[in-house]
């Protein structure tokens, strides 16, 4: 699996991206993505043993994160290998300074370093431009369903192995 990724910056945020243990990103994931859950409640992805957890670090502070793991793409089910990006989060006070972009770039690099393939996600509608900027294409219309009560967009790209 991928090791530490390149440092990245845009505007005032200078961070480095590293592969970390899932426990390291837990507080940020809960605060941003599941604020209604208790401190010890399981978070999405906790059960996935082979997930790659990326952290944007400012010193020792986790200011951004996502996880990447092997998973078949629901709308390209025959394509292997396939990888899913999930649990993207940047600390509220650090947003729109390039941290999310740096995390996405490192996630793409992690997939490339792991053999490449179909890389997919279910984006919140507001985040679509961020993913599009990094090569993800729309995989259908905006939708709302039981698992996604706010508008979401399927997105994907093919990542080459390197």
Footprint of ligand COA on this chain (CB under 6 A)?
Answer: 32-33, 64, 88-90, 95-101, 123-124, 126-127, 129-130
- Report the residue number, 82 or 153, with the smaller CB distance to ligand COA: 153
Q: Least distance (Å) from ligand COA to the CB of residue 161?
A: 25
Q: Least distance (Å) from ligand COA to the CB of residue 117?
A: 20
Whether 156 contacts 119, CB under 8 Å:
yes
- Report the residue number, 111 or 130, with the smaller CB distance to ligand COA: 130
β-bridge partners, 83: 70, 119
Q: Least distance (Å) from ligand COA to the CB of residue 157?
A: 15
Q: Which of 54, 50, 68 is nearest to 5 (CA)?
A: 54
Question: Rounded distance, CA 152 to CA 63, Å?
Answer: 24
- Report the residue number, 113 or 128, with the smaller CB distance to ligand COA: 128
User: How far is the CA of 117 from the CAs of 33, 41, 106, 109, 111, in angstroms?
Assistant: 27, 32, 15, 12, 7
Q: Least distance (Å) from ligand COA to the CB of residue 13?
A: 8
- Report the residue number, 59 or 78, with the smaller CB distance to ligand COA: 59
Question: Rounded distance, CA 5 to CA 154, Å?
Answer: 26
- Taking CB atoms, the residue at the shortest distance from ligand COA is 100
Q: Least distance (Å) from ligand COA to the CB of residue 38?
A: 19
Question: Rounded distance, CA 45 to CA 152, Å?
Answer: 19
Whether 156 contacts 73, CB under 8 Å:
yes
- Report the residue number, 2 or 88, with the smaller CB distance to ligand COA: 88
């Amino acid at each position: 699996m991928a090791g530490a990724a390149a440092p990245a910056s845009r505007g005032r945020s200078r961070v480095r991206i590293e592969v970390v243990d899932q426990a390291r990103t837990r507080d940020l994931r809960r605060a941003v993505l599941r604020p209604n859950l208790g401190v010890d409640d399981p978070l999405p992805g906790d059960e996935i043993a082979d997930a790659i957890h990326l952290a944007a670090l400012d010193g020792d502070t986790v200011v951004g994160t996502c996880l990447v793991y092997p998973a078949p793409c629901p709308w390209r089910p025959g394509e292997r290998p396939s990888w899913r990006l999930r649990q993207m989060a940047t600390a509220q006070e650090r947003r729109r300074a390039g941290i999310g972009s740096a995390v996405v770039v490192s996630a793409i690099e992690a997939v490339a370093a792991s053999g490449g393939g179909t890389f997919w996600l279910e984006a919140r509608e507001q985040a679509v431009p961020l993913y599009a900027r990094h090569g993800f294409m729309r995989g259908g219309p905006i939708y709302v369903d039981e698992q996604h009560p706010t508008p979401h967009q399927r997105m994907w790209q093919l990542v080459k192995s390197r």
